[in-house]
Structure 1
Amino acid sequence: MKLKKMMIISFCILYTLLLTSCGDATQEENSKAYEYNDKGLALMDEEKVEEAIEYFNKSLNCFEWYDKDFEKLTKNLKKEKEVFDAPLNNLSWAYTELGEYEKSLEYIELALLVLPNDEEEYINKADALFELSRYEEAFKNYDEALKKNCDSIYAHFGKGKIYFENEKYKEALEEFNQYLESEKDDFEIAKYKIYCHLYLNEEEKALNYANKLINENKDNYDACKVKGLVLKLTSDYETIKSFYEEAAKKFPEHLDAQIDLGRFYYKDEHYNKSLDYFTKLIKKYPKNVDLYTWVIYNYSALNQYDKALEYGEKALKINKDSSTLYNAIGNVYIDKTAYMESIKYFDEAIKLDPNYENAYINKLYALYTGKRYSKCIEFGKASEVKFQSVYNIPWFMGESYLELDQCHEAIKEYKKSLDLKPDNDEILSSIAYAYLILEDYENAKVYVEKSLKINSENSEALHIKDLLEKKQETIGKQIKTFFSDNYLYKEQSQDLDKKLSTYLDKNNISGREIAQVISKVKIPDDIFTFVIAGKDYDSFIESEEDDIAYKSYDKDLCYMRIKNFSSNTGNRAIEILDKIKDTKNKTLIIDLRENYGGDTKSANDILDALLPKCVTSTLIFRDGYNYNYYSDASQVSFKKIYILVNENSASASELLTLGLKTYLKNVIIIGRNTFGKGVGQHVFEDKKRKIMVFVVSHYWNVRETNIMQKYVKPDVYIERNDLKDFLNVIKER
């Protein structure tokens, strides 16, 4: 930064001398422009980037040729012969510092229209291109800078970073060495050199270089840190521990040395030791927010979340401008599964530091894990513009699209992630799974084989491989295996496997025939095992898209009608709930009349949104295996919740009703006794053949309560069926 400033100021002085022959008005105008530009540079040196931008713009506004319309400005610059373009170059630099790389490129392209071009302009353009992962273009511009000045250390450093990103460590090392010849004390770049040696399996060279730095800088802890990096990557625990403890003794007044020792204890999971260490340091340095941040992390790792947040509040009173502090507090909320509560802290961290990559990733994680899939995708799209080389941004987007059953979009995002991490077996297995759902078995096989080639023990890939093998069988045999493996009442159905083989082992069986077979083999009173095929399949798929409706009756009454539970009902319900403002002062009505049930997961997703941390339900399978659905600590709270039910409210409807009534004190059920279906289904689907087989596969309990052959009783009984009658009861109450 300082070198850039010196170069641009020198240019300003030279340009001033060139214009001494101009008229007084022109000279005064230019003098003001230089003054504003210099003020902007001074602010950049103080890292007050946004204020600097104001002064660079003031500098430009001094000139008649300047126009805020970039198209007009471009034409003006092409016409002008003598133009003071330093503010344009500096604006490019400033926007790169803010992480607004596209804007940075706009300004540097304008600066480059003014000839002659200098080293600094090409470096600014290359830096912005590098951050956008446009490495080939960046490389060319660093080379252009070197043509202007063959000793340009920033150009050598830039080329080194590009080689490093492309895993060309030998070439990167040469460039970093060029830089370090002039900047021997730049220990951050020295770390790049260390990594190059280590990736080239040159551990001895890395250690020798680190020792050389220490010998030449005996009183500088930053040199010592470089050796710590080598040891962390090459040595045993006791060696690393001894190094940090000795360094802390050698530099007792160097806070970084003390912090690094505490961090070592934390990363080695000695949380109590680390906590004790940082707590003592706070007594010595009571205004240092970084120390509070490590206390917060340690308390959170020990599951003492209230203590962690207590220290967070203390630290915020000392300094409200620390992005790392807000990020640490956000992580506490993630650790306690309060995902939605964490968002505002990550937002604050990003506001303070627009380039804080970790805060972006944490927010994406919170949105995804908190089941806010559409919001995760929306934020991911904004994030990947800024961080094009971060593989887990498209990964979270892919996962979110998959949860929304948008498999084609999921695959696109997974493949973006794969481009950045080509040897990641988990990404490959996720792509395979998305293709499996789409019934594109050929592509699924390609990606699952790639995944297993990298990691033969990848459990998801092995499961997909097994499913793909089953898909090679006839449709009848696939359904036979599915039904036999999952049917809850298998033991009560006499000779089930024999009957299934008799009817389903033949080739070219139709959907109608499959429905007849399932009807014959299931137990007589099982009305929840059935087949949907042909035109009925089309109608069912269409009805899933119209499964939920929302209406606000007045400012305090929110009405949500759920007609059935499809795989996406939970997602759509959560999106509706998130749009309601000031929920604690409003009443929610959930209308489940005539809702025969459906996807158990969707019902549990809605419970997750409306309940505090708990086990929302437990599924109990034929073999005794149990599966729990959990609600996280985040909760959309309402003043009151009314649930409307009748005798046709069944299965997932009853699960949602019972779950809310069991865990919340402000729930009132209105209507008539429900159906009494305490079982759930697994579904076999073949999209191409338009067949769905619903098989009763498990019981479900809400806190050990099952309503099979019972029902959920309303708190307020009503015989009438019109919605207005139900609403009148609610308004009366």
Structure 2
Amino acid sequence: MKNLKIYCLLFFGIFCIPNVVLAQKEPDNDVVTIDDGFEDLFYEAIQQKSMENYDKAIEALEKGKVIEPDNPVVYFELGKNYLAQKKYQDAYDNFEKAAKMDPKNRWAWVGMYDVCYETKDYNKAIPIVEKLVTFKEEYKEDLTSLYMNTQQFDKALELINELNSKFGKTEKRELYKADILKDTKYQSAEKFNLLEQLKKFPKEESNYIALIYMYSQSNQEEKALEIAQKLEKEIPTSDWAQVSLFKFNINNNDGDNAVKAMNLVFPSKKIDSKIKHRMLNEFLIFTKNNPKYEPDLDKAISYFDNDKTIDVAKEIGKFYYAKAEWGKAIKYFGMHLKSKEDDVETQLLLLQGYTENQQFEDLAKKADDLTQLFPTQPQFYYYVGLANNQMKNFKKATTFLESGLDFVVDDEPLEINFNIQLGEAYSGLGDINKKEKYFAKADQLIKKQKK
């Protein structure tokens, strides 16, 4: 008897397909033979599932399974209904039966993967996804994540490099790779991979940068320099090549080539400001031991004029100030103050630099000017008085010191210094009474501090 009927096998919705699989659609239809009675049960199951009546859908499918026990579609639909109910083992078993009956049906394998993904059984998911890769290569992205989740880093790294080579890098893969390479045991393989990539893609700058970084991290400076030189040869415009060459030239005491590299890096918008600051700091230390490069340091500072994160000239001034190199400290504080005249901290450092360097005429003039800009700032009056005492302009010294003392509030060390300088000024003027008065006041304050 010919009891053949045609029905359209409609696959409705795949649950929880991760990553790239989400965008895929199931086949529109397939042609299957059924026996009498099966068609009604199947459509009843589809209808009940669409209304989320999963128990009734399963009941209809179980009856249909009696009629068509070898029909993979029944098991596939059972799997979907059980998955919707989060009955994961039942769902997996039915998807697995469907896959065994029809191994070429990708969606049965996807169903098994869905179950593993929802239950976070990543080890069980791996062979399933390896099978899915034979259907669509896009599943390799999923496979990479599974290797990472199961800590199979060697396989993950190999697959990441393969995908990078074929499709280009992605942020996710690069994050995975960085995490893997924290473990030194994988770095040899990655160095070899990068060397191979340089041969295949000699104009790909990122591979050079990654390799330079890895060699530098493992103290293989000569190899890092070799790669930097290759980068410069293949991509002469590469700013990153210059970053590496600068470091090597500084280490080799090659100031001329270090300056050349530095002057190419600092104007670059590709290089992060933190890297530039580190380079400048290294060049500052180099210049301290090689003073002939000081003009190059001055030029380098100009690249940072609009830097909002750090006042470069000021910091260099502080560097020399801490080392008691007063002349250089004064120079760089002056450079900073050309555009930051209201920086009181730096103004005071500059005045103390003049004092330490015994530049009393400069000190007197600068401090006098500052009393006009900051008429209530007592420290500036103090420095005017100190400078004029040193130049034996005692009358002018007393005028500024007595005016400034009125602005001293809750600052005993400064008050002591004012009284000492006033004592010195009146001593120079021959006024013994006032001399003794101010020295006595200073002594009184000193004793008070010691209590």
Relative to the length of structure 1, the TM-score reads 0.24
> Which structure's residues are more often strand, by fraction?
1
Q: Name the structure with the higher helix share.
A: 2
**Structure with greater Cα Rg:** 2
